[in-house]
Amino acid sequence: MTYADIVERYEPVIGLETHVELGTRTKMFCSCPTEFGAEPNTQVCPVCLALPGALPVVNAVAIESTIKIGLALNCSIAEWCRFARKNYFYPDMPKNFQISQYDEPLCFDGYLDVEVDGRTVRIEIERVHMEEDTGKTMHIGGSTGRIQGATESLVDYNRAGIPLIEIVTKPVTGTGAMAPEVAKAYVAELRDVLRGLGVSDVRMEQGSLRCDVNTSLNKPGEEWGTRTETKNVNSLRSVERAVRSEIIRQSGILDDGGKITQETRHFHEDTGQTTSGRSKETATDYRYFPEPDLVPVTPAREWVEEIRAGLPEMPRVRRLRLREAWGLSEHDMQSVLNAGAVDLIEATIVAGASSEGARKWWMGELARRSNETGQELDALGITPQWVAELVSLTDAGKLNDKLARQVVEAGLNGEGTPGEIMAARKLEVVSDTGALLEAIDAAIAANPDVAEKIRGGNQGAAGVLIGAVMKTTGGQADAKTVRGLILEKLK
Amino acid sequence: MSSLIKKTAAELGELIAAGQTSALEVTREHLDQISKVDGRVHAFLHVDVEGALAAAKAVDARRAAGEKLGPLAGVPIAVKDVVTTKGLPTTAGSKILEGWVPPYDATLVERLKDAGTVILGKTNMDEFAMGSSTEYSAYGPTFNPWDLTRIPGGSGGGSSAALAAYEAPLSIGTDTGGSIRQPGAVTGTVGAKPTYGGTSRYGLIAFSSSLDTPGPCARTVLDAALLHEVIAGHDPRDSTSIPAPVSPVVAAARQGMSGDLTGVKLGLVKEFMSAEGAEPGVVAAFHAAVESLTKLGAEIVEISCPNFVYALPTYYLIAPSECSSNLARFDGVRYGLRVGDNGVNSLEEVMSLTREAGFGPEVKRRIMVGTYALSSGYYDAYYGQAQKVRTLITRDFQAAFEKVDALISPTTPFVAFQLGARTADPSSMYLADLYTIPSNLYGGPAISVPCGLSEGLPVGLQVMAPTLADDRMYRVAAALESTIGTLTPPEL
Amino acid sequence: MTAISREEVAHLARLARLAVTDEELDMFAGQLDVILQSVARVGEVAAEDIPPTSHSVPLTNVFRPDEPRPGLTRAAALAGAPDSAEDRFRVPRILDEEE
């Protein structure tokens, strides 16, 4: 059974719950720092260790960041909402309850538009709410480092209490075969939005953006099927694979007349498959109630509007604007995006370069170097101002393509600005016509047969003479100028 | 018995500041009294002899250096064991915290230290402040200095008994449903529950977060006010702490001491007068005190607060619900007791065995009641409904305070009962807080002040005031004290 | 009428992580029944349109600046732990991945 066959017969419904660790300097309810990778249990205090008597106090920046996210996702912002306690026992949660939000989320009823294969899909957002992260547990004694078979576990509470934002979509229907791509595109777009807002470093590999994917199948015209919740989906590619693999697995069960169990499943990067976790039927009663240690949050409308006014341009809007301004095809724009070059090109243009010039260097020599070394483009040591200077030198004819490449090479070695490199290395197009004519005469004298061909109207043969002249001048001539002079001479 | 231990905190502060005695001398005499009587009273769970002597010496050194001392500098104080003290064991009267030494001070303890008071030690209490007799302490009961066969009230029986036994002139209590006021009443001492949010809960081991209020205990109203002023005021570490100045409680107490209540209108809660359960002797002493208040110039009117009769069931839903969540952290992972970790049992089993062994019966009962009341399917009928009734009780108070300046009632329906008299029937114990609970649900301040004796045992009168008007209750209480006088317990 | 059965009490004890004994179950079942019937009196009050009170202080928007402050040293954090290893809190094997 192929995937195409499956999605002919079943309609997938997906839903995504995304957890984002905010990039605040301190935790959600205490003043402990939030650095990633600190020594175990060194970023803890009475509050986040849940010592007897300690009390939470809300981080103001976490509230502001959540409102930013809500506004960027076109949500309404609650005029009044509260935190709630979600009660369940687990050793990575020091209080044995999580401070979260229950029926009163800070942001609700929004949407995010994403592009998939040139089609715009609107993903409805149900809610954006605040909660706190858990500690990290290390399982000892098993063969795999997993919980199964372990004889004991070790807990580090550094992560406990880091602000966590949960973004929940409404069920996404009608995407058919595209469901896996839509899920991926949503998470990618969400990541870009969050990064643009500057509220999180959104690094899936470090767990600052984590995804749970709900999937169900139903036959066309029938009610939605039973859904499964796939956890542990920690890369964009995995989001797509997890949905696809769940669609295939569920269709197999349904085809055999079986029933889907409502359960949590785990995605495994290595196999691309999901395996069964805990059955939701035994799900505990969380006994939510309003958190008595925290008072209600009632963001003033003026504050919300102030935050809205300060929001950066949304990535999708910006992409469309820049693509148009730069005159790129969708494909070329995608390449620029993939290379992470949008900001750099834009800044280079702001610094005075033409869009073609800016794109040529960032997507050419510099992207090549970035690929070779594995460094990000913006970590190469070349600034937009640097590239803008290079472009203006080539546009002015002071550098030809070959010389410009040498300048870039030197720039990557940290030899200074293009101007400084040109001076130091004496790299400049030879514009002294006398010197050039001398070299041209020498080249004609050395290649009489070629000169004859050109005189006979074969202008393509000029390349040989141009090459010879360039050699004589050490590459520092402008090929176009040389060509013009040769053709003039051999007319 | 030495003369220093019978003095009030105000007097001791003045003597120390004037150099007529030293903080060290005062502290030593109180430590002596503790070693003399606490074997019989058992007010203390932990006495910090070294720490107290060092703190006293530091105060004396400051005075010697010419520093001007505050009114309570050098005055000894006992702290209820539910408040964290850095480096000093803190158990909340529970086995589950046996041996735990907090790495931090509660805000109010920081303020006590800043004021130069000398912390003598930690006082006994019902486990996690759940109880009205101190019999639910995991470390054995405290005995009432008036009659060692009787209970000293609870949950803060240790803090009140320490005062009545002259082991300390001041102590800290916490009041969730009456745990400061009811022990004050049955030991013939003064106990004040400030406005909720007026004193910081940071470092107070939570029982019921929306009700818990730390406050002062003393033998006189003025002493309570002096202590109130030290510990009250906004704390940014407690989100429910009120960012407003503390009302002038000391000035109000001094004003009340003049014995003039002209122009003050006091309300008798009608529903409390008809409620069953109040002993005749308590009612008689209360009415005599009302008589005295009238003579001082107060106008007395009867006020109906119809929803007060639901205060007890409301409280016994809200407090257990919050406690079932607050006490979840005691799981044997990060601190305290761990039981059953034998290499075979799972974490879940170890947690359950730890909590089973670490908590006493009353705590378990309340955790289960709270777990039930918060469960899906029961929430609306129990916890949700209780919160609505809480609103109605608050409205009763607000309506009453449009007519009167303060409400008065007996503090508790009965005098100190015999140990063991009410432990078999939990709900009969709950009646002890019948009159004190409404103020906790509303959040306003209330104070218990001795108003006489019944069968030779102390009776307390409660003054309930509007939110943030703590000064008002001190004035009325001090006025009553000025005519009735303080009660003197028998020599131990 | 009983408000709560012995089985329900056992369920509550499991939810609350209390390994209660059989004798306790019998005792608590009776006591909880009395307590729950007594507190059920709040249901007599007509309060449909009454807003619930979760906090007695009328405060809102109590926030703290996002400024790091030193917390506890690792030694202080682990000092009260019943068991620790490799600078972490040690716990026995965990049965399920989540409660």
pLDDT digits (tens, 9 = 90+) for A191-230: 999 999 999 999 888 889 999 999 999 999 999 999 999 9
CB–CB contact C91 B347 (8 Å):
yes
Domain boundaries for CATH 1.10.10 within chain A: 433-489
Topology adopted by domain A433-489 = Arc Repressor Mutant, subunit A (1.10.10)
Closest residue to B335, CB basis, from A51, A288, A293: A51
Q: Which domain holds residue B21?
A: 4-257
Verify whether the Cβ–Cβ distance A53 to B371 is below 8 Å: no
Least confident of A142-151, A315-324, B163-172, B314-323: A142-151
Give C97→chain B minimum CA distance, Å.
Answer: 11
CA nearest to C55 within chain A: A292
Q: Are A57 and B237 in contact (CB < 8 Å)?
A: yes
Q: For residue A257, is pLDDT > 70?
A: yes
Confirm if A215 and A251 have CB atoms less than 8 A apart.
Answer: no
What six digits make up the tokens of A233?
Answer: 């989906």
A460 confidence band (pLDDT: 50, 70, 90): confident
Confidence band (pLDDT; 50, 70, 90) for C98? very low
Stretch C28-34: mean pLDDT:
93
Q: How far is CA B194 from CA A65, A270, A433, B444, B450, in A?
A: 37, 61, 96, 7, 18
CB-side neighbour CA atoms (13 Å) of B5: 21
Q: Which residue has the higher pLDDT, B335 or A440?
A: B335
B 374-393 residues with CB below 8 A of A?
374-376, 379, 383
Q: Would the pLDDT of A282 be above 70? A: no
Four-CA torsion A152, A156, A159, A160, nearest 10 degrees: 80
B324 touches chain A (CB under 8 A): yes
Q: From B351, which residue of chain A is nearest by alpha-carbon distance?
A: A89
Instruction: Specify whether the CB–CB gap between B429 and B163 falls below 8 A.
Output: no
Contacts of A288 in chain B (CB under 8 A): 374
pTM of the model: 0.90
- Are the C-beta atoms of residues C42 and B314 closer than 8 Å to each other? yes
Q: Which residues face B218 on adjacent strands?
A: B170, B190
Inter-chain touch C98–A90, beta carbons under 8 Å? yes
B377-391 pLDDT tens trace: 899 999 999 999 999
Look at C19 and B367 and tell me if their CB atoms are within 8 Å: no
* d(CA A26, nearest CA chain C) in Å: 5
Give the distance from CA A64 to its chain's centroid. 22
Distance from C-alpha of A141 to C-alpha of B233, rounded to nearest angstrom? 51
Determine the Cα–Cα distance for residues A452 and A469; give it in Å rounded to an integer: 17
Q: Which chains touch C (3 or more CB pairs under 8 A)?
A: A, B
Rounded mean pLDDT of B273-296? 91
Q: Using CB atoms, pick whichever of C15, C44, C72 lies closest to residue B103.
A: C72
Task: Please give the average per-residue pLDDT across A426-453, as a whole number.
Answer: 82
Among A82, A96, A284, the residue to mutate for chain B (most B Cβ within 10 A): A96
Instruction: Report the domain count for chain B.
Output: 1
The pLDDT of residue C99 is 36
Please tell me whether residue A259 adopts helix, strand or coil conformation: coil
**Cβ separation of C88 and A41 shorter than 8 Å?**
yes
Nearest to B40 by CA among B127, B121, B130, B152: B152
**Among C62, C98, C99, beta carbon nearest to A58:** C62
A485 or A257, which is more confident: A257
Whole-number Å distance between alpha carbons of C5 and B361: 18
- State the Cα–Cα distance between residues B140 and B132, nearest whole angstrom: 14
CA dihedral B352, B353, B354, B356 (to 10 degrees): 80
CA distance A101 to chain B (A): 16
CA angle B107, B108, B113 (to 5 degrees): 100
Task: Please answer yes or no on whether C19 and B346 come within 8 Å at the CB atom.
Answer: no
Average pLDDT score over chain A: 91
**Half-sphere exposure of B177 toward its Cβ, with a 13 Å CA cutoff?**
28
Whether B239 sits inside 8 A of A294 (CB atoms) is yes
* Domain extent listing, chain C: 6-44
- Provide the 10 A C-beta neighbour count for residue B465: 26
Q: How far away is chain B from the Cα of C18, in angstroms, using its nearest Cα?
A: 5
> Average pLDDT, whole number, for chain B?
97
Residues of B marked as catalytic: 80, 155, 179
CB contact under 8 A, C45 and B388: yes
Q: Tokens for A326, please give them.
A: 């730069």
Q: What percent of chain A has pLDDT over 70?
A: 98
Identify all chain A residues contacting B103, using CB atoms and an 8 Å cutoff. 46, 51
Tens of pLDDT along A329-382?
888 888 888 888 998 999 999 999 998 999 999 999 999 988 888 888 888 889
Amino acid at A262: Q
Paired with C64 in beta bridges are A59
Say which range, A260-274, B51-65, B165-179, has the weakest mean pLDDT. A260-274
Round the CA-based radius of gyration of chain B to a whole number and report it.
Answer: 21
Phi, psi angle pair for A246, to nearest 5° = -70, -40
Q: What is the mean pLDDT of residues A380-390?
A: 93
| Residue ranges of B 117-176 with Cβ closer than 8 A to chain A | none
Give per-residue burial for A189-227: e unless 16+ CB within 10 Å, then b: bbbbbbbbbebbebebeeebbbbbbbbbbbeeeeeebeb
Q: What tens digit of pLDDT does each residue of A178-191 get?
A: 999 999 999 999 99
- Assigned token pair, B123: 């006082």
B173 in any annotated domain: yes
Q: What is the pLDDT of residues B432-486, one digit of tens each?
A: 999 999 999 999 999 999 999 999 999 999 999 999 999 999 999 999 999 999 9
Q: Which of the listed CATH numbers 1.10.3210, 1.10.20, 1.20.120, 3.40.50 matches domain C6-44?
A: 1.10.20
- Among all residues of chain C, which has the CA nearest to that of B345? C92
**Residue C76, both tokens:** 């202080």
Choose among C42, A53, C59: nearest CA to B207.
Answer: A53
Interface ipTM above 0.95: yes
Does the structure show a pLDDT above 50 at B62?
yes
Backbone angles phi, psi at B88, to 5 degrees: -120, 130
% of chain B surpassing 90 pLDDT: 95
Nearest chain A residue to C71 by CA: give it: A45
Tell me the per-residue pLDDT of A7-17, one tens digit each, with 9 for 90 and over: 999 999 999 99
pLDDT band at residue A278 using 50, 70 and 90 as cut-offs: low
Assess contact for B152 and B143: CB atoms under 8 A: yes
The CB-side HSE value for C38 (13 A sphere, CA atoms) comes to: 19
Interatomic CA distance for residues B22 and B73, integer angstroms:
10
Inter-chain CB proximity B203 and A91 less than 8 Å: no
Running DSSP on this structure, what letter comes out for residue C96?
A: S
A289 neighbourhood in chain B, CB within 8 Å: 321-322, 325, 374, 379, 383
The pLDDT value given to residue B381: 94
Q: What is the CA radius of gyration of chain C?
A: 22
Q: Which residues of B touch C85 (CB under 8 A)?
A: none
Q: What is the CATH number of the domain that holds B119?
A: 3.90.1300.10
At B375, phi and psi to the nearest 5? Answer: -65, 150
**pLDDT average, residue stretch C28-43:** 94
Residue B74, classed as helix, strand or coil, is coil
pLDDT confidence of A401, banded at 50, 70, 90?
confident
Among the residue ranges A395-404, B161-170, B213-222, C55-64, the one predicted with the least confidence is A395-404
| pLDDT at B275 exceeding the cut of 70 | no
% of chain A beyond a pLDDT of 90:
65
Interface chains of chain B (3 or more CB pairs under 8 Å): A, C
Residue with the bigger pLDDT between B261 and A375: it is B261
CA distance B225 to B248: 9
Ramachandran class of A74: left when φ > 0, alpha when ψ lies in -120 to 50, beta otherwise = left
